[in-house]
Every structure is written in C-alpha cells, then in structure tokens.
C-alpha cells in the first residue's frame, strides 16, 4: 500500500492539485444536487411521491420475484432500519406486498403489487424524460468521457471504505 510514486501518497500533496480536486468535487456535488432537486420536485408535483420511495420501487421493479429486506437495503446502500419505514408506507399504500420466505421465519420477501408496478412504470417513463432533458444535450463523446471519468472516480481510492463493488 501507498507506493512512493502514487498520486495519493500520504505526504505533501501538491496544493494546486488539491485545489483542483476540491473544485471538481464541489462542482460535481452541486450538479448532482441540482438534478436530484429537479427529480424530487417533479416526483412530488406530478406523482405525489418521494425520491426514496422511487428508489425502492425501482429496485423492486427490477427484481420481479421480490427481494429480502436485507437484499433491498444493500442494493440501495442504505441502512437496514431505513428500508423498514419506507416499505411500511409503501405497503400501507398498496404498492408493495410482504410475503414470508419459505424455510426462514426471519426473512421477508418484498414485492411490488400490480398496482405498484403500473405506478412505477408511469413514473419511470416520466423520469427518463426529465433526465434526458438535462443530459440529452451532451454530445456523444462528452457523455462517454464523463461516464469513463466517473468510473475512475468510483474506483480511484483504496484508503477509505473498501466496500463490496457493483451488484
């Protein structure tokens, strides 16, 4: 770990590089928050729902057979207790169904109801358009470059949070 020539060597990072790193991060954070705010607002106004609910439904939509609570929380990278509350509300709204897992009395399988599926399908279609409204004007090569750079960032550090990678 921490070779002498690594750009992240622990001694004396060049101030100009640090400054640029900070600039990039702050701008990335700002842009992301901006897009998130747009999505949140649109979900609220057009579908009377929230981003966390949307995220949960997206995960469940993808796994038609359902997910265990623990699978769900790790897929969304949020805490266990968090998902409990969101699912609770989705269940009482009739969008989600809880079914016991055969052979394991601890676990619960969580699945979209038909109504939940229909509802999410509509939201997802709108969501695609909102996102395309923002990102759709990027030239193809720029877009591809951005994707590649973001990939780098995601993997470009090993000092903190050496968690599990892509699902």
Rg (CA), the chain: 20
Dist CA 121 CA 130 (whole Å): 14
Question: Looking at 81, 159, 164, 167, which residue binds its own copies (CB under 8 A)?
Answer: 159
- Regarding 42 and contact with DNA (CB under 7 A), the answer is no
- Regarding 2 and contact with its own copies (CB under 8 A), the answer is no
Q: 6-36 burial string, b = 16+ CB within 10 Å, else e?
A: eeeeeeeeeeeeeeeeeeeeeeeeeeeeeee
Specify the long-range contacts of residues 109-117, CB closer than 8 Å, at least 24 apart: 109/66, 109/67, 109/68, 110/60, 110/66, 110/67, 110/68, 110/69, 110/72, 111/60, 111/64, 111/65, 111/66, 111/67, 112/57, 112/60, 112/61, 112/64, 116/57, 116/60, 116/90, 117/61
Residue 46 binding: pick among its own copies, DNA, none (C-beta 5-8 Å cut-off by kind): none
Residue 134 binding: pick among its own copies, DNA, none (C-beta 5-8 Å cut-off by kind): its own copies
Chain CA centroid to CA 94, Å: 23
Residue 96 binding: pick among its own copies, DNA, none (C-beta 5-8 Å cut-off by kind): none
- Regarding 41 and contact with DNA (CB under 7 A), the answer is yes
- Listed ranges 13-21, 98-106, 123-131, 132-140: which one lies at the site for DNA (CB under 7 A): 98-106
Site string for its own copies, 92-131 (x = CB under 8 A): ------------------------------------xxxx
Question: Looking at 4, 11, 12, 106, which residue binds DNA (CB under 7 A)?
Answer: 106
- Regarding 161 and contact with DNA (CB under 7 A), the answer is no
- Listed ranges 11-19, 81-89, 94-102, 107-115: which one lies at the site for its own copies (CB under 8 A): 11-19
**Could you list the residues that contact DNA (CB under 7 A)?**
40-41, 44, 50-53, 68-71, 77-87, 89, 98, 101, 103-109
């Amino acid at each position: 770990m921490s070779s002498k020539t690594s750009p992240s060597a622990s001694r004396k990072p060049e101030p100009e590089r640090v400054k640029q790193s900070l600039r990039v991060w702050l701008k990335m954070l700002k842009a992301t928050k901006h897009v998130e705010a747009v999505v949140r607002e649109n979900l609220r106004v057009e579908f009377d729902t929230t981003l966390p609910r949307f995220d949960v439904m997206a995960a469940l939509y993808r796994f038609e057979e359902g997910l265990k609570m623990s699978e769900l929380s790790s897929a969304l990278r949020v805490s266990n207790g968090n998902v409990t509350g969101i699912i609770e509300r989705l269940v009482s709204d009739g969008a989600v169904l809880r079914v016991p897992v055969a052979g394991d009395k601890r676990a619960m399988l969580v699945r979209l109801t038909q109504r939940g599926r229909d509802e999410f399908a509509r939201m997802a279609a709108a969501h695609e358009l909102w996102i395309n409204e923002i990102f759709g004007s990027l030239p193809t090569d720029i877009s591809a470059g951005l994707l590649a750079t973001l990939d780098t960032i995601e993997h470009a550090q090993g000092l903190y949070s050496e968690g599990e990678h892509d699902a």
